[in-house]
Homo-oligomer: A and B are copies of this chain.
């Protein structure tokens, strides 16, 4: 129904200059870019999710300082020891699921040269929400991971990345890929709104 409306508008637009109306809006379809970006979003969120979830590392930590009787205790570092990392895993899972749904939406739309503007608006709406969620999750992970990397001498929070090296590498990589996912979501908002602008 929307494609019929769009073609009607185009037809009337073509005859418009003769009758003194403004020229028709140029036909633009950025859904190829949109589709590629959504595939990239899926790849980045699923990889960040897997890297974050598989970050568990167990180390033997010395508990007694007397050298003749060194006592060690096995302590694990896992993502679910920090609420910030749990939030990030949840945000990544939601965004990954969202990207799968919108990949199909985008693929469905590519076949239609005149996507409805209502759909573009809906995509901007949900992309903007998801961008906010992913950006806040990236910020939370980055803030906590930085303390793990450098520590904070003012409040005696010791760095842990000298002990849990693999854990820190996983968290750092996940934070970086989450940042990329956030940037992709902001670009998706801009691409959709540019399509809407060219259609207006």
* Residues of chain A having any CB pair with chain B under 8 Å: 8-9, 12, 21-22, 75, 77, 81-84, 117-118, 120-121, 124-125, 128-129, 131-133, 135-144, 146-148, 150, 152, 154-158, 160, 182-183, 186, 189-190, 192-194, 196-197, 199-200
Contacts and interface: CB of A to CB of B under 8 A. Distances in A.
Which 6 pairs between the two chains have the least Cβ-Cβ distance? A139-B139, A136-B139, A140-B143, A84-B143, A135-B135, A139-B140
* Copy count, this protein chain: 2
Nearest to A120: B197
Contacts of A199: 200
A136 B128 contact: no
Q: What is the predominant secondary structure among interface residues of chain A facing chain B?
A: helix
